[in-house]
Structures are given as C-alpha cells and as structure tokens.
Amino acid sequence: MKETDLIDLEIVDALQADPAAPWKEVAHKAGLSEATVSRRWAALSQHGHAWTGMAYHPLRSKGFFVEIGVWGNQRDECADLLSQRKNVITVGTTTGDYNLFCIVIAESIEDLAAEFYNSFTELQLATTYRVSAFGHISGGVHWRQGLLADSSPRRPAPLDGRYLSEELTEDDKRVFELLSCDGRLPYAAIGKSLNITTAQAKRSVNKLISHGHGLFRCDVARPLFDYPLGLVVLARCPIDQVEEAADFFGEWRETRFCASVISETNLILVLSLHSLGNGNDLLKRIDKAPVQFHVVEYRLIPQMRKTYGMILRPDGQAKQAVPISPWSTRTSEN
C-alpha cells in the first residue's frame, strides 16, 4: 500500500472541511499550490485512498442499526449482499456474538420496516439479529481529522421547516445518487451522465444542498490514515437526556456514527481507533463524559466492509461506490 504523507493528510483535512470547495480554496487552506493539490488528490482518488460523495442529510436520516450473528463463510456472503444494497450505507465486522453490523437509512421508517422484514433475504443466513431504529443521525457523517488550524467539527445546518415535507423530483434523486459516488463531479459531467442540461444539474445540486436533503463528505482508507480499527458502543441514558448525550458524542473527532435509538440500550456509537489501547482510552473518556451515560456493551470492529456507500478492500481502500438511495429499495446492479 502506498504511504501517505503530511501533505496528503492536510489536503484531505481541507476537503473534509468543505468537500466541494474549489481547488483554489483547498490550496489556500493547506498552504499549497492549486497544481499540487489537484495532482495529489487525483493520486489519492485513483488509488482508493480518499474519496468524496454526497450523503443524505443526517437530520433526515431515519433508519435501522442492525446487529447480526452469522458464522463461517456465510458471514462474508451476508456482508457482500448487504453491501450491494443502495440503502445500506455501512457494513462492518465485529467481535462477539453479533459479529456483523450494518446501518440502513430511509426517508420513512414505515417503508423501511416493510422492506426490511419482507425482502432482506440475506438475513436468512444469520442465526440471530437485532434491530434498533433511529429517527436521525447525531454525528459522524462528515467527520474531520482536525489537522489544520480550523479543525472544528462540521455540524449540519438545521433543517428549514419550509422544506421538511418537500418531495424531490426523479431528476433530483438521480443527481443525488450520482453525487453519492463522486461528490466533485462537475455540473457538465452530471448533465451528460443523466441526459439533462448543465443548468438543470446545477439547480438540482443547489436544491439538494440548500433545502437540506444532502451534504458533501470526504472519507479515507482509514487504516492508511491511522484508523485501522473501530469500536461499537451500546449504552443506556435517561430518556430525557439521550438526545443531549447523542449530540455530545456526535461531535467527537473519533465518532463515525452516533444516534439515539428505540431500544433498551438507547444510544449507539461507532468510533474509529488508532489502536487496541486507544479503545480503552476512549472508554475512559466516555466514562468521564459530563452526561449521564452507562456503557452496557462494546465490541471491536476489526474491519469495515463498506463506509457510507463505498465498498472497501480488505486493506480499507475504496473498491466500488454503490449509489446511495434512501428512496429506493433496489440493490446495486454493478
């Protein structure tokens, strides 16, 4: 695997701050020339070391956190099948009785429940599974390494009440799916791919962002960027304080997913780790957090199979982008 250096890390951190920023702005933040930034990013992207995409807005993202017990070769088969689904954004392996997990998002919990219990046939490979429902995601969708001077976490803008029940057109959804695979596609390339005009493509992108349907994110081959492991934490909070706890942990730099859920353990965290020892350090930080919070269970994540729409190789590098669609139950045909 090609090694990354500090320049690569700074370019990625600048893009995590604003994944759709022009190269001139990225170069300014990183203190580099536009040519260097563009050339370096092209290499990172080509080798599957880093990528950008559009995510469904966390405050709109309803869904299921699914813990699965599936053994032998069937675990890999189940993980592969889940990873091809457009509404399964993340898949990872874990230690313990539940040795696989996935995150499924949707526009409607009711529609997702009907689909999940009727057509997720890959779960027939499992010996057991359990489902926790969430009404929104509190953190981790657009995380930052925090290397540059402006290293504050990115928080999604509050949703504008005027657009809460807005229906997207089919073209809007197609633009979203295309951008979920490559967040830096030019308007002209979007239009050509979808057989719409450049102006239509620009209007759709502006609508998706300004009306709170999507946001851009930048992710990396985490083992290459010193995050080879992860941790799933299941915790219990007082019901009247669980949202406060979710918001608090959602801002941690290590957080990759955080949500309050409908379950006996009503808060779930997915964290990235630098090492096994780092997991113990994070658990100590959690224990000292200024919120009422009791850890019930935690499991190591040895390997991520898919992170927010990107299927990964065993070394964590990008392998295949699966279009994200909270509106569609179709599996990827790629």
Q: Do 249 and 116 belong together in one domain?
A: yes
Name which of 60, 111, 49, 120 is nearest 88 in CA terms: 120
1 and 126 together in one domain = no
| Domains: count for the chain | 2
Question: Which of 4-18, 49-63, 208-222 bottoms out in mean pLDDT, i.e. has the lowest?
Answer: 4-18
Is residue 167 situated within a structural domain? no
Q: Which domain holds residue 252?
A: 58-143+221-321
pLDDT digits (tens, 9 = 90+) for 261-288: 999 899 999 999 999 999 999 999 999 9
For the chain, what is the mean pLDDT?
A: 91
Which among 47, 66, 82 is the end of a domain? Answer: 47
Rounded Cα–Cα distance for residues 289 and 249 (Å): 9
The tens digit of pLDDT for each residue in 153-195 reads 566 777 777 888 888 999 999 999 999 999 999 999 999 999 9
**Residue 146, burial from CB neighbour count under 10 angstroms (0-12, 13-18, 19+):** middle
Q: Are residues 16 and 80 in the same domain?
A: no
- Is 234:208 a contact under the CB 8 Å cutoff? no
Phi and psi at residue 305, in whole multiples of 5°? -100, -25
| Domain annotation covers residue 286 | yes
pLDDT value for 191:
97
pLDDT at 5: 85
Is 66 inside a domain boundary? yes
For the ranges 7-21, 97-111, 292-306, which has the lowest average pLDDT? 7-21
Residue 125 placed within a domain:
yes
> Given this model, what pLDDT does residue 293 score?
85
pLDDT at 331: 47
pLDDT above 70 (res 147): no
Position 171 in a domain? no
Q: Would you say residue 245 has pLDDT above 50?
A: yes
**Are residues 242 and 118 located together in one domain of the fold?**
yes
More confident residue, 333 or 170: 170
Query: Are both 128 and 263 inside the same structural domain?
Result: yes
User: pLDDT tens digit string along 65-80?
Assistant: 999 999 999 999 999 9
- Give a yes or no: residue 307 inside a domain: yes
Q: Are residues 71 and 8 in the same domain?
A: no
Confidence of residue 148 (pLDDT cuts 50, 70, 90): low
Same domain, 138 and 244: yes
Report pTM: 0.94
Please check whether residues 117 and 88 belong to one and the same domain: yes
Please check the confidence at residue 96 and state whether its pLDDT lies above 90: yes
Q: Which residue has the higher pLDDT, 203 or 143?
A: 203
